[in-house]
Structure 1
Amino acid sequence: MDAFFASVEQASKPSLRGKAVVVGGLGPRGVVATASYEARVFGVHSAMPMAQARRLAPHAAYLVPRFTLYRSISERVMALLRELSPLVEPLSLDEAFVDLEAAGAAWDEDSARLAGVRLRADIRAATGLTGSVGLAASKMLAKIASEQAKPDGLVLIEPGTERALLGPMSVRTLPGVGPATGDHLRRAGISTVGELAEAGEDELVRLLGKAHGHALYAMALAHDERPVVAERETKSVSVEDTYDVDIHDRTRVGLEVQRLVDRCVGRLRGAGLSGRTIVLKVRRYDFSTLTRSETLRGPTDDPAVIREAAARLLEAVDTTGGVRLLGVGVSGLADYTQEDLFAQAAQPSRAAETDSDEAAGTRGAPGAQGAEDGAGTDRREPAERHWRAGQDVRHADWGHGWVQGSGLGRVTVRFETPLSEPGRVRTFRVEEPALEPADPLPLVAEADPLPQGPP
């Protein structure tokens, strides 16, 4: 999918179509999750600190993510992929590998291209959004082709042309070549994939080690035998939040942990899972990260049991100096629950702990579990009337809209829907009783548009 989060926001908000949109955490420590192509012109990109993005594109619209909506659209897209083949390997909410031969959806270049054309049309019809398709004989090459196809395109790499295509590309194009490896190769005089192949396997093993050297040499020759893996076992369910200001109050830390437990249990139950091992993650003011875990006698999805375990784990953590991130996770997953909940809560079988120092620049990249919750969620706190930019709202008189901004006791709302023209802007007191949080509306016509209130 093309600039997925930002494209969803543009499709949801007619007044933002064709304009620079940046989605991510809006606090001082927020990072960019996705930037629209209009924002990328100014140099804004994912994983960039939000403060830097605001300096580069001060007039862009900055919005919190709405993951519930993104997930629902992702499910539609993945369902279309599974109509093509039983072998679909999702990489994230907006990207997946599909083996077109598995169910006979394609058997040669022409049939593959036709399948890709039809898929793009189906995605647009089902979601109102654009996706880019890369077609090739391997996962590595299909990924490269899809990047070349962006935005809103299709690229097919014909068999026999792979080496010629890869040769002039940067080594950073290949999977597993990050900034550090790229710099190491550059210092050795290797900047392109063609130069990787010319260097030879022995030289790459000497430079990078046996496993990495062998793998990169094979990729430089366009060899990638990895199969499309349809199902990946879920190993854990977790949530975490990064706070704009360090939390020093111990009671507040405890309350935040309990709130994270409730969110984690919601995800567990939504997936029909339970788990034995409860994990608490605490990142302190100095960026040191502590992880504590406790394994129960049997799997559970009971929030009371998990709350008690998380509270016990927190007791063993020194939060003096402040906390900047908290996370709660459950692993050791199963599709059943242990009946003797009180016994397992009282008698944990073992506990483990790890400490690690994480550099200030290693916050999780968007798409990862931690980034999803840390980037800034669409949590609703109506009691505090805390309105967030991009949040869906509904007014008793004006209908559906979204928050453009808030501050100084006021909240500004633009009233429009995905199916309307750009709407009007109104400003209210933050305590406005007629204004309430709302669920997102569909991007495509599934029902008659809601009335938009007084003209």
Structure 2
Amino acid sequence: MEKIILHVDMDAFFASVEQADNPKFKGKPVIVGGVSERGVVSTCSYEARKFGVRSAMPIFIAQRLCPHGIYLKVRYYRYKEISNRIFEIFREVTPVIEPLSIDEAYLDLSEGKFNDGLEAANYIKKRVREEVGLTLSIGISYNKFLAKLASDWNKPNGIKIITENMLPDILKPLPISKIYGLGEKSVRKLNNMGMFKVEDLYELPKEFFIEYFGKYGIDIYERIRGIDNREVTVNRDRKSYGRENTLKFDTEDIQEILHYVRNFCLEISEDLKRKNVYIKTITFKYKTSSFENHTRSRSLTYYTNDFTTIYKVAEEIVKDENFIGTIRLIGITVSSIKEEKVEQLKLF
């Protein structure tokens, strides 16, 4: 039996939660993120996107584009609460779930009560709308790459199915930036070579992909032909938890860097608590505008999943770092993981 994979993606999640919690915000441009002049947009409603506002955009630019927008601070605890309720609905559909973030996941229907992707998608959308008051978009296909591609097709509140008989015609007109595994740098280089759409790559020999992309070349070659053999994996034995983000605009502002770091630490802490996991090593990662990677780590003498503790260490790392040049990527990872029983033993 051909696999049925769903990619579920909440629509403008943070902003949608704010609109659901406060009905007077519905239909209005809501921008969630750092509210200071050096803050950045975490998520914005579709009403705000009409003005050109986008995630990771500096707040001062968003305010220039949308001066009458509703600017709100991030309430991560609330978004996590809603996310947990939505993932409970996912678990009623299948136990094979691969979370990608607080508002996004792959579902493999090879186990569970549904053997029809559209039926499962409509069930999820109905339950989430009735119980949480939010909308989501779902892509349905036989592999992860196509399912994720499909979920973005009819946003917001859409469903899209990509079947094998639609290939390669459905992929050929797409910009090459849609191909998972092609980063901004690779897309830019290919554009400079005159290749903008998938059809421009389709006729090239496999050897070109291997020579140009190295070990990932075969993956790119296969994906533009609708082939993706990655499994939906349930993370049961993780060695680390992390978050990172490539900035829309390079920065050298420490407060803006700390804004990202704080949000990452909050997300990670909530994830650790939900899974009864404790850590004692915190790593700060950043990439400069010249694409140099740097990591700085510090370890505690005890295990914790407390947000304040994790952020305090991360903040110290950032403030002690001698940054040279502007920063284009920021990340936080925690490791040296132990289960809850270790934390309890420490108390004795």
In structure 2, the partner of 1:300 is: 303
In structure 2, the partner of 1:10 is: 19
In structure 1, the partner of 2:221 is: 217
Residue 89 of structure 1 aligns to which amino acid in structure 2? E
**Percent of pairs with identical residues:** 33
> What do the CA deviations read for 1:301-350 (whole angstroms, capped 9, x no partner)?
398xx79x959x87x94789xxx9x99875201113278969xxxxxxxx
Residue 132 of structure 1 aligns to which amino acid in structure 2? S
Contact 2:98–2:106 (Cα < 8 Å) also in 1: yes
2-structure distance, mates of 1:39, 1:137: 34
How big is the shift at 1:300? 2.6
Within 5 Å, which residues of 2 pair with 1:178-327? 178-208=183-213, 210-231=214-235, 233-236=237-240, 271-277=275-281, 279=283, 291-294=296-299, 296=301, 300-301=303-304, 317=320
Decide whether aligned partners of structure 1 residues 136 and 319 sit closer, same or farther in structure 2, where only a CA change above 3 A counts. Answer: closer
Say which of 46, 49, 66 aligns to 1:37.
46
> What do the CA deviations read for 1:268-312 (whole angstroms, capped 9, x no partner)?
5554223343557899xxxx977242364xx53398xx79x959x
Q: Does 2:161 match 1:156?
A: yes
Decide whether aligned partners of structure 1 residues 188 and 237 sit closer, same or farther in structure 2, where only a CA change above 3 A counts. Answer: closer
Contact 2:76–2:266 (Cα < 8 Å) also in 1: no
> What do the CA deviations read for 1:132-183 (whole angstroms, capped 9, x no partner)?
1111111111111110021111111123113111011011011122221111
Say which of 108, 118, 138 aligns to 1:113.
118
Q: Aligned Cα RMSD in Å? A: 3.9
What secondary structure is seen at the aligned counterpart in 2 of 1:165? coil
Higher helix share: 2
Contact 2:280–2:304 (Cα < 8 Å) also in 1: no
Unaligned runs of 5+ in 1: 248-252, 343-455
**Larger of the two Rg values belongs to structure:** 1
Contact 2:272–2:305 (Cα < 8 Å) also in 1: no
Decide whether aligned partners of structure 1 residues 122 and 174 sit closer, same or farther in structure 2, where only a CA change above 3 A counts. Answer: same
Question: Which TM-score applies when normalising by structure 2?
Answer: 0.76
2-structure distance, mates of 1:147, 1:8: 20
1-structure distance, mates of 2:344, 2:334: 18
Contact 1:279–1:310 (Cα < 8 Å) also in 2: no
2-structure distance, mates of 1:121, 1:302: 35
2-structure distance, mates of 1:275, 1:153: 39
Question: Which TM-score applies when normalising by structure 1?
Answer: 0.60
> What do the CA deviations read for 1:71-120 (whole angstroms, capped 9, x no partner)?
111111111111111101111111111111222511xxxx2212211211
Say which of 172, 184, 191 aligns to 1:167.
172
Q: More deviation in 122-131 or 181-190?
A: 181-190
In structure 2, the partner of 1:446 is: none
Unaligned runs of 5+ in 2: 1-9, 245-251, 288-292
Q: More deviation in 267-276 or 160-169?
A: 267-276
Residue 151 of structure 1 aligns to which amino acid in structure 2? P
Contact 1:269–1:301 (Cα < 8 Å) also in 2: no
